Structure 1
Amino acid sequence: MNDFIYSKMKCRHNVCVWLERDCMRPRASIREYEVLRAVITSGTVTAAAHRLAISQPAVSRLLAQLEANVGVMLFERRGGRLRPTAEAMRLNSKLDRLFDALSYLDSTDPSDPTSQPLRIAAPPTLGHRFLANLIASFMKQNRGQVISFETCTSNGLLSRLVDDTIDLGVTLAEQTHSAMELIPFYQTHAVCVMAHDHPLARHDVITPELLHGQNHIALMRRHMVRTRLDQVFARAGVRPNLVAEVATGVSAITLARAGIGVTVICPFPLLRQNEPDLAIRPFHPEFMYRASFAVSTIRPLTKSTRAFMRHVKLAVRQIPNTNPILTQDVDNRPWL
């Protein structure tokens, strides 16, 4: 019985020693992997040395180091040539991603903004109705600049900034988070939208009192602006008749156009000056919306990100009847 216990303890001790030695084993270098691939491809040390522009002894030494580091024999000498073992071929097959990454880095100029994709995200309404055209014009002005553009929720912008999967977000939400900074570039007031023949269309301004009992199309409760609008109604002591909850302003306008009810929304970037089948009226008390750039507070803005933000600012100033906000860049200088 005691011999059995001793045997198990000895086995455990041996395993511990093996693990300790394995952890202390030096890791192979990228240069050693380069030599492995060069010898497999060329078949001789001489050809590999010429390909890598190093001496033959250096190739032999690096191969020996690699075999020592991985703990297996990688080549057999047959007829004056080195023949890779099965272990060498398996190891080489796993190196494709490494050398693809190195090749990409070698071809990348960190000082050239077009060498890295500009990653942008925005909610669908802003993305499709506003940003897509600006991305197209920006790419025409900056030939070679690669753009990665996706749509997501405003909450999704935050997670993408934290995970470093985007460089820039554009949003109408007013979220706060230590990892995200909002830089407003445009502001506008809420409007009340309804079919052109709706009874309320005769009013020049729509107030909460006029909406009491009226069929109302609202954004989903997850939207912060929905909470703010509900508070406006509560303070006025009115209760519109909620007939639909929608996820986007596009859907709200579509239902209003069909005569389902009225909706109080942000007109940017959905509404044009000429909407003959809609009645668009100011909503009082004033209800402000701000369009903002969402940027990381952890990582500095790239050159291409700053350039695109300036492009958006300039474009907004060209839109009739807009209210752009003068902001400053990260160096505390005017944008344009």
Structure 2
Amino acid sequence: MVGVDIGSHSIKAVLLAKNGNTFKVEAVAVEPTPKGAVVDHEIQDIEPVGEALRRLVRRLPSKIQAAAMAVAGSSVMTKVIFMDASLSDDEMVSQIEVEAENLIPHPLDEVNLDFERLHPHANDPSRVDVLLSAARSESVEARVSAMEIAGLDTKIMDIEAYALGRAVATVAKRQPELAEAKLLGVLDIGSRTTTLSILEDGEVAYTREEAFGGEHLNQLIQSAYDMSVEEAERVKLRGELPGTASLEVLAPFQTELLQLARRSLQLFYTTSGHDGLDALVITGGTANLEGLADMLREELGFAVQVADAFAGMKVSGDVNKRDLERYGPAFAVASGLALRSFG
């Protein structure tokens, strides 16, 4: 399956192959999201998104027929509940359907439900931790419909935070500075939202989203240098900002991002009982910003590095190396979705 990540600024696709324990990047592709078609993780206009997906799919191998996608934001709810470990999956379904009305803040006929057994409950081995996930049906259906326009069948609908966690956990095993991290943070800087996820022993234990992202930096660049939206994005991605940018635009943006990271981390510490991370990985389209990882490392006091979504993987000669270099950390969610092909 091709992993497809639909963002408000761009749509990313990743296709992986696996041989034994070795992954290979078969293809990557990026297509701009039609302006205004995706807002706050929600598809507002299916047709133009579907056409953008069609253009994206044309740059992938023709053999591809299936996709894995994800939902995110306010349309998604996850909750860990405790259930009798002796129940079969069918029995769990029946019980969850009875209890779901008290657990989910939406009418049940408006949501898609799923669950996964995690592990025995820490304090009671006769019970099991179960991850319950719910997403607004209209969010799921909009993505499926857009993908149908592109000619692909959506086989899996995941949750962005879990796809991101899967990608980071997979490549962390192949990076010495991350392999031993028991508590690993992931700061995903999207176009309009930034999400902090915490991986504990490779599993997503916490996630928090804030309305702040790379678009804010673009606005600072536009205002400071009288550029268009497209020009601001281009000079940011290519590292071609004017020499005065460090003080005029980068410092204010980094200060706001640092405050957001500290606030989100403090909330995690308060609710979890932890008082620090082993390391933090930054992903998303703005993660490559010059000096960002160094600033966060210095201010937060632990290891911080830009994500390499394909660390330890082989890369096909057909892959567009320029896209890999320019958008590398932004491929993390799509890579995590593509990894569902092998689960």
TM-score (norm 2): 0.21
Structure whose residues are more often strand by fraction: 2
TM-score computed with the length of structure 1 as normaliser: 0.22
Q: Which structure has more RCO (C-alpha within 8 Å, separation ≥ 6)?
A: 2
